[in-house]
């Protein structure tokens, strides 16, 4: 009795454990999903931060590059003075006009010359300028009196705002004076702090700054600040309005980031020279960089806008969360059902539990981060480089593999493939994205993707190869799980859907007696929706087969013209419902192709129905069969409104649909998979597919496939000769 009680207790404990097992597994898979989701988020965030860092660097380089370019044009003005000795107003005007600063150097308000005028020569200077045709010329501000004046004498272009700068003494302003003194004393470009330009009016007032370059007398060779001040001839300078400057640098390229520029690296309102947007939401992407030029220090505060954040969005994390949750719930349902069966199914349930644990291990491998191995070999296939990632991937240490043949990790059935790779490398070819298998130290096999490049010595001779190997076992397993999931869901939907369609068909046919007209319309609509759903299931299965490589093609050599005629006849009724018709306007007969006729008919019918839906009433859909060099080209043209520009890049994507505003068309929704499937079928048969479209001029869809007519003719000729000889 005691022994029996122990056994019963053990069985009770086992039953309790089995009842808890589905919940434990669900929790485990949800935890794995959460870890995968978290890792994906971290990875995507890292990528976004790297993109933002690159964007920050590009903004910094753009500002630095443009400031250097502006200094170069000022150097050109200095060169003009040094070459000419004396530069007239007309010569300066021609120099600035030929420089086309508005076109090549946007942001410069003016390029001008400031002349130092000693107080003793002030009256004479004013008379000379007035004698040049400027009777109202004067130096401002006139007070206070000072031993040295600096007057802007050549402001160019001499129009609009720049007229206000004529005769202005910049030396009276402390900010400008500091930059002018620095330029005079150093002989180098000097940039002022933030100022309000004298050219500003009451409208569109902007912060500005100036860049100065000194011109010394040609007979002087000053070495010290004192000598440079004594030898100063003029100051060539450029005046800049910050908003105009930034617009000239970036145009619309700044739209995804907010840029604020602060003078002297002080990030406060008093030193802010420029702000592209005064208020933006708080962002995780923000950085400060410093630019030093012309003796000044600018702090660039760059913050990502919503446009940048949206551009970094990826659905990867959501896909992982949804897929992981669905898989977890599916596995939970399976085990929960197994636990409700009787004891006779215990052995089967235990086996399925083992399978589940195995899948758990596989799933854990899928969500683990991939690592790339770098392996290099000499001409004898001996390993000379074996990085830590290769150690982690294969289990072989560097010490074990250096000098050892790479065939250690190559399966026997892959040796011929390895030899072909060696021959390609010897010819200087690069092997890209080769999917193969490698053997690990523990005997297990890994699916890997390889990119192999030849190595050359200093004489340019082939001396070996270098490979980047990526573990794709996780991706392969995920593709298998996805394929199984789609196939299961699709087949589970098909059975009840077929029953519903049949029942609706009987109701419409009157098998259950007469029904009201309105009810008949509703039933007919439901039947159409069932048909559409069935087509969607078929399309989803086709997509899954195409992506997984399980889509089988029965390739034959046949004349494509009869196939086009068949497609035209089969789809003519649909065209009539759409208010159009199919017309063969150009064709050549006896055009043979190597393809699967059933799959090709599926592609042609898809393109026909697509053209009919978007064709205007009483306008035909035109079909052309053309021969171009070694290709056969089939064109289907409609005269509809054309494909919108914003939709062209997505036309062959899955579930991509363009709106049709023509309400007379059949009110039957599309799956959005037809063109994507057509593209995959054509490409897997060695062809290509495309389109051309213009607004209000219709659209031409076409596909091209190899013309094997000549090969067919040669076979026929050979058969004839054989018959004659017999």
Q: For residue 383, what is the domain's CATH number? A: 3.30.450.20
Tell me: do 692 and 600 sit in the same domain.
yes
pLDDT score at 365: 36
- Say whether pLDDT at 221 is over 60: yes
Average pLDDT of the segment spanning 411-440: 85
For 453, the domain range is: 372-471
Which of 613, 603, 601, 604 minimizes the C-alpha distance to 677? 603
Phi, psi of 437 (to 5 degrees): -130, 140
Burial (CB count within 10 angstroms: exposed 0-12, middle 13-18, buried 19+), residue 401: buried
Note whether 597 and 637 are within 8 A (CB): no
The rounded distance, in Å, linking the Cα atoms of 14 and 244 is 79
Tokens of 266: 């002080």
352-356, 454-458, 506-510: range with lowest mean pLDDT: 352-356
Tell me: do 522 and 566 sit in the same domain.
no
141-150, 200-209, 688-697: range with lowest mean pLDDT: 200-209
Question: Does the residue 452 lie in any domain?
Answer: yes
The pLDDT confidence band at residue 522, using thresholds 50, 70 and 90, is low
Question: Does the residue 38 lie in any domain?
Answer: yes
Where would I find the H helices in 296-441? Answer: 306-311, 316-339, 346-367, 388-394, 398-401, 415-426
Tell me: do 617 and 695 sit in the same domain.
yes
Highest mean pLDDT range out of 470-474, 493-497, 507-511, 704-708? 704-708
pLDDT score at 358: 54
Q: Which long-range contacts (CB under 8 A, 24 or more apart) does 401-407 make?
A: 405/380, 405/381, 406/375, 406/377, 406/381, 406/382, 407/381
Question: Does the residue 246 lie in any domain?
Answer: no
Tell me: do 378 and 436 sit in the same domain.
yes
Tell me: do 125 and 102 sit in the same domain.
yes
3 state SS of 449: strand
Question: Does the residue 619 lie in any domain?
Answer: yes
205-214, 369-378, 625-634, 681-690: range with lowest mean pLDDT: 369-378
Q: Where residue 632 sits, what CATH number does that domain have? A: 3.30.565.10
Q: What is the pLDDT of residues 392-403, one digit of tens each?
A: 888 898 888 898
Phi, psi of 549 (to 5 degrees): 80, 15
The rounded distance, in Å, linking the Cα atoms of 197 and 208 is 6
296-304 sheet: strands from edge to edge: 272-275, 257-263, 296-304, 286-293
- List CB contacts of 301: < 8 A, sequence separation 6 or more: 259, 260, 261, 262, 267, 286, 287, 288
For the chain, helix (H) and strand (E) counts, in that order, are 20, 21
Note whether 532 and 668 are within 8 A (CB): yes
Tell me: do 680 and 574 sit in the same domain.
yes
Is pLDDT larger for residue 171 or for residue 509? 171
Question: Does the residue 657 lie in any domain?
Answer: yes
pLDDT score at 234: 93
Q: What is the pLDDT of residues 323-346, one digit of tens each?
A: 888 887 887 788 777 777 755 666
pLDDT score at 249: 82
Tell me: do 278 and 338 sit in the same domain.
no
* Last-in-domain residue among 419, 449, 471: 471
Residues facing 212 on adjacent strands: 190, 237
Widest distance between CA atoms in the chain: 132
**Average of per-residue pLDDT values in the chain:** 80
- Say whether pLDDT at 214 is over 90: yes
Number of domains in the chain: 6
Note whether 163 and 155 are within 8 A (CB): yes
Tell me: do 577 and 657 sit in the same domain.
yes
User: What is the 3 state secondary structure string of 284-314?
Assistant: CCEEEEEEEECCEEEEEEEEECHHHHHHCCC
Question: What torsion do the CA atoms of 635, 636, 639, 643 make, to the nearest 10 degrees?
Answer: -90
Tell me: do 35 and 143 sit in the same domain.
no
Tell me: do 96 and 173 sit in the same domain.
yes
Q: Tell how far CA 72 is from the center of its chain.
A: 36
pLDDT score at 512: 65
Note whether 175 and 195 are within 8 A (CB): yes
Question: Does the residue 69 lie in any domain?
Answer: no
Note whether 289 and 88 are within 8 A (CB): no
Q: What is the pLDDT of residues 74-91, one digit of tens each?
A: 999 999 988 888 888 999
Note whether 271 and 264 are within 8 A (CB): yes
Tell me: do 271 and 404 sit in the same domain.
no
In this structure, how many other beta carbons lie within 10 angstroms of the beta carbon of residue 432?
10
The rounded distance, in Å, linking the Cα atoms of 219 and 230 is 12
- Say whether pLDDT at 112 is over 50: yes
pTM: 0.43
Tell me: do 267 and 378 sit in the same domain.
no
Question: Does the residue 144 lie in any domain?
Answer: yes
3 state SS of 652: coil
Which of 606, 612, 601, 594 minimizes the C-alpha distance to 562? 601
pLDDT score at 546: 58
* Last-in-domain residue among 471, 487, 507: 471
Tokens of 343: 């004891």
Reported as type and span, the H/E element at residue 7 is helix 2-84
DSSP secondary structure string for all residues of 546-558? HHHT------EEE
Is pLDDT larger for residue 67 or for residue 716? 67
Question: Does the residue 76 lie in any domain?
Answer: no
């Amino acid at each position: 009795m005691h022994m029996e009680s122990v056994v019963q207790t053990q069985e009770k404990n086992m039953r309790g454990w089995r009842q808890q097992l589905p919940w434990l597994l669900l929790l485990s898979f949800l935890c794995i999903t959460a870890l995968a989701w978290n890792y994906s988020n971290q990875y995507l965030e890292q990528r976004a931060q790297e993109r933002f860092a690159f964007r920050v660097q590009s903004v910094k380089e753009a500002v630095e590059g443009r400031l250097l370019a502006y200094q170069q044009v000022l150097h050109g003005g200095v060169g003009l003075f040094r070459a000419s000795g004396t530069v007239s107003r007309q010569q300066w005007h021609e120099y600035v006009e030929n420089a086309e600063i508005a076109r090549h150097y946007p942001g410069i308000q003016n390029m001008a010359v400031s002349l130092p005028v000693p107080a003793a020569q002030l009256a004479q200077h004013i008379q000379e300028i007035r004698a040049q045709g400027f009777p109202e010329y004067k130096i401002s501000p006139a007070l206070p009196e000072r031993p040295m004046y600096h007057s802007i004498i050549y402001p160019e272009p001499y129009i609009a705002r720049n007229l206000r700068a004529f005769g202005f003494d910049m030396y009276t302003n402390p900010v400008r004076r500091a930059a002018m003194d620095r330029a005079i004393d150093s002989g180098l470009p000097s940039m002022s702090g933030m100022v309000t330009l004298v050219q500003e009016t009451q409208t569109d007032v902007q912060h500005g700054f100036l860049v100065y370059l000194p011109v010394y007398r040609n007979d002087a060779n000053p070495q010290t600040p004192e000598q440079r001040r004594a030898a100063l001839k003029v100051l060539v300078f450029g005046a800049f309005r910050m908003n105009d400057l930034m617009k000239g640098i970036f145009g619309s390229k700044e739209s995804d980031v907010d840029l604020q520029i602060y003078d002297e690296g002080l990030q406060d309102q008093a030193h802010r020279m420029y702000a592209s947007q005064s208020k933006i939401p708080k962002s995780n992407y923000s950085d400060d960089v410093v630019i030093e030029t012309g003796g000044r220090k600018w702090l660039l505060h760059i913050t990502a806008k919503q446009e940048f954040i949206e551009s970094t969005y990826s659905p990867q994390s959501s896909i992982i969360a949804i897929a992981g949750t669905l898989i977890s719930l599916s596995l939970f349902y399976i085990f929960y059902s197994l636990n409700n069966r009787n004891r006779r199914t215990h052995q089967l349930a235990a086996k399925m539990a083992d399978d589940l644990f195995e899948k758990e291990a596989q799933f854990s491998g899928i969500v683990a981060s991939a690592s790339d191995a770098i392996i290099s070999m000499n001409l004898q296939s001996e390993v000379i480089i074996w990085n830590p990632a290769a150690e982690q991937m294969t289990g072989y240490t560097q010490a074990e593999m250096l000098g050892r043949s790479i065939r250690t990790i190559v399966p026997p059935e892959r040796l011929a493939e390895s030899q072909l790779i060696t021959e390609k490398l010897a010819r200087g070819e690069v092997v890209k994205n080769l999917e193969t298998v490698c053997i690990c130290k523990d005997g297990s096999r890994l699916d890997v993707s390889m990119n192999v490049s030849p190595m050359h010595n200093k004489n340019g001779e082939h001396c070996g190869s270098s490979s980047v190997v990526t573990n794709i076992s996780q991706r392969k397993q995920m593709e298998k799980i996805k394929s199984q999931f789609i196939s299961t869901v699709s087949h589970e939907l098909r059975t009840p859907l077929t029953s519903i369609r049949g029942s609706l068909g009987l109701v419409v046919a009157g098998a259950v007696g007469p029904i009201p007209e309105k009810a008949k319309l509703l039933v007919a609509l439901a039947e159409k929706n069932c048909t559409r759903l069935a087509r969607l299931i078929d399309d989803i299965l086709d997509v899954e087969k195409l992506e997984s490589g399980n889509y089988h093609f029965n390739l034959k050599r046949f004349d494509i013209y009869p196939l086009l005629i068949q497609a035209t006849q089969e789809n003519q009724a649909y065209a009539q419902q759409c208010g159009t018709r199919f017309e063969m306007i150009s064709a050549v007969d006896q055009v043979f192709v190597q393809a699967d006729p059933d799959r090709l008919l599926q592609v042609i019918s898809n393109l026909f129905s697509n053209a009919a839906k978007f064709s205007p009433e009483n306008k035909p859909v035109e079909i052309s069969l053309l021969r171009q060099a070694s290709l056969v080209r089939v064109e289907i043209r409609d005269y509809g409104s054309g494909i919108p520009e914003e939709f062209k890049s997505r036309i062959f994507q899955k579930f991509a649909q363009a709106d049709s505003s023509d309400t007379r068309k059949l009110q039957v929704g599309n799956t959005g998979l037809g063109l994507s499937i057509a593209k995959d079928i054509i490409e897997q048969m060695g062809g290509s597919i495309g389109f051309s479209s213009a607004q209000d001029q219709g659209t031409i869809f076409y596909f091209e496939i190899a013309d094997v007519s000549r090969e067919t003719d040669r076979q026929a000729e050979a058969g004839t000769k054989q018959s004659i000889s017999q």
